[in-house]
Structure formats: structure tokens, C-alpha cells
Amino acid sequence: MSKKEHDEAIDPRSFTDKRILEEHSREEVEAWRREAHAQHKRWMEVMHNQYGKD
């Protein structure tokens, strides 16, 4: 097994992304990614909130 094949074999995202794109439209997947990004951004804003740290 080459290094590339090994890296692909242990990368769960490459398989998952391919499988999801086979089962769902690109528009659905992009909407989920945008939503996940927005939720992550909101979470990071909460984590960096100074309220209660004084």
C-alpha cells in the first residue's frame, strides 16, 4: 500500500464526503456546511465572551 493509499484509508472525511455527495445534492451539503460553520462561529463567540471572567 502506497503512502497516498494509506492516508486515504485512514481519512474518514474523504470517504464520508464522497458518500454524502452520492446520497444528497451538492446544494444540501453546502447548506449543511454553512449551517455548521455558523454554529461553530456562534460557539466560538460564546467561548471568547468576557462576561463573568472579571
The larger pLDDT score, comparing residue 34 to residue 15, is at: 34
Averaged pLDDT for residues 17-40: 88
Does residue 43 belong to any structural domain of this protein? yes
As for how many domains the chain has, the answer is: 1
What local confidence, expressed as pLDDT, does residue 39 receive?
A: 94
Give the confidence band of 4 by pLDDT, cuts at 50, 70, 90.
Answer: low
Give the confidence band of 42 by pLDDT, cuts at 50, 70, 90.
Answer: very high
Name the residue among 36, 7, 6, 4 with its Cα closest to residue 20: 36
Phi-psi region of 24 (alpha: psi -120 to 50; beta: other; left: phi over 0): beta
Does residue 29 belong to any structural domain of this protein? yes
Does residue 32 belong to any structural domain of this protein? yes
> pTM higher than 0.75 for the full model?
no
Which residues constitute the domain of residue 40? 25-54
Question: How large is the greatest C-alpha to C-alpha distance in the chain, in angstroms?
Answer: 55
